[in-house]
A and B are shown apart, each in its own frame.
Chain A
Amino acid sequence: MDVMKKVGDILDEAQQNKRPFDLPVSYFEGLEERVSSKIGKQEQGGGFFRILKPAVLLACSFVFVLLIGYGVLSVTHTSGSDIRQAVEASQVTPDDPEAEVIIEYLAQNISLDDIQEYMFSESDNN
């Protein structure tokens, strides 16, 4: 092939031949039967699975979402023991009874409501 040939000419020249393929002799003669047999096989064998397919796909998606959710939670969630370790590694003296209470308290999975309740009870006591 001539490298110097104009770029557009290459495709123009190739297009003159159109598709460079022949059709195999008598290819279409048996096609109808082949297709019918394929459909027949599908209807016999794959029928049950085809009915179940949407349900199976739904179940798989559910399991997938569950696994993703679990993965995200296990990466981002900070457990009580993690807090305990973090606090213990900090400057709080373990001998200090008040610090011990704080550590115990943080080690639980406390909610914002619990904190508010605690603060209100503390202010009532005072």
Chain B
Amino acid sequence: MNDEQIIELYKAGEKRQAFNLMVRGYSERLYWIIRGIVQTHADTDDALQNTWVSVWNALDTFREDSKLYTWLYRIATNEALSLLKKNRLRAALSFSDFSAQVENTLQADPTFNGDKLQLALQKAIATLPPRQKAVFTMRYFDEMPYEEMAEILGVTESSLKTSYHIAREKVLERIKKNDIED
């Protein structure tokens, strides 16, 4: 069933059925978007469930001026960013290093299968400000076109290009710094 049919089903009053079809059809893609931003599986699971709860609450407000997938992507990104900000705040309040926390969690995470370089990259990504992190992961891992990113994040393409460039420089800088410290 495609997006239009799901929306038609929803409009016909089959809200629950339409919603379940979305969960079945989009969860995996949303999972990877969120995981790129929050990095750990536990947080991804949390943010993904929150995303679906938000989608359920906001379904009545969905206007078809954007694609269903773009709308879902936007909600997932916002949920991931808000969880990330919460985690950063918690780390700041407990006077601990957030990127070190991410590194420890990744090292202990059985679903992380990266090598030393990948770990250094993930650690460097963890130090980026939340929005810059979203821009970097969308572009670097998903190779998403700037046009689509602009629609999801609600910013201009030129500012996204600048933001990605800055994020990339920061990541490289931190990998090199990490390399020297090791």
Residues of A at under 8 Å CB distance from B?
1-3, 7-8, 10-11, 13-15, 17-24, 27-28, 31-32, 34-35, 38-39, 42
Contacts and interface: CB of A to CB of B under 8 A. Distances in A.
Contact of B179 (A3, A20, A32): A3
B91 interface: no
Given A14-B118, A14-B121, A15-B140, A32 B23 contact: yes
A10 B117 CA distance: 8
A24 B41 contact: yes
Most chain-B Cβ atoms within 10 A of its Cβ — which of A7, A21, A35? A21
28 contacts: A8-B172, A10-B117, A10-B121, A10-B172, A10-B175, A10-B176, A11-B168, A11-B171, A11-B172, A14-B118, A14-B121, A15-B140, A19-B35, A20-B113, A20-B118, A21-B35, A21-B111, A21-B113, A21-B114, A22-B113, A23-B28, A27-B45, A28-B31, A32-B23, A32-B24, A35-B23, A38-B52, A42-B53
A4 to B, nearest CB: 10
Q: Nearest 10 CB-CB pairs, A to B?
A: A20-B114, A20-B118, A35-B52, A22-B111, A1-B179, A14-B121, A7-B172, A32-B23, A3-B179, A39-B56
Count class of interface residues, chain B:
35 or more
Query: Secondary structure at chain A's binding surface: helix, strand, loop or mixed?
Result: helix
B163 interface: no
A1 to B, nearest CB: 5
Contact of B27 (A7, A28, A39): A28
Contact of B141 (A7, A19, A34): A19
B53 A20 contact: no
B24 to A, nearest CB: 7
A7 B114 CA distance: 20
Nearest to B41: A24
Contacts of A34: 49
Given A3-B179, A8-B172, A32-B23, 8 more contacts: A1-B182, A14-B117, A14-B118, A20-B118, A34-B49, A38-B49, A38-B52, A38-B53
B40 to A, nearest CB: 9
B136 to A, nearest CB: 10
Interface in B55-79: 56
A19 B36 contact: yes
A1 B117 contact: yes
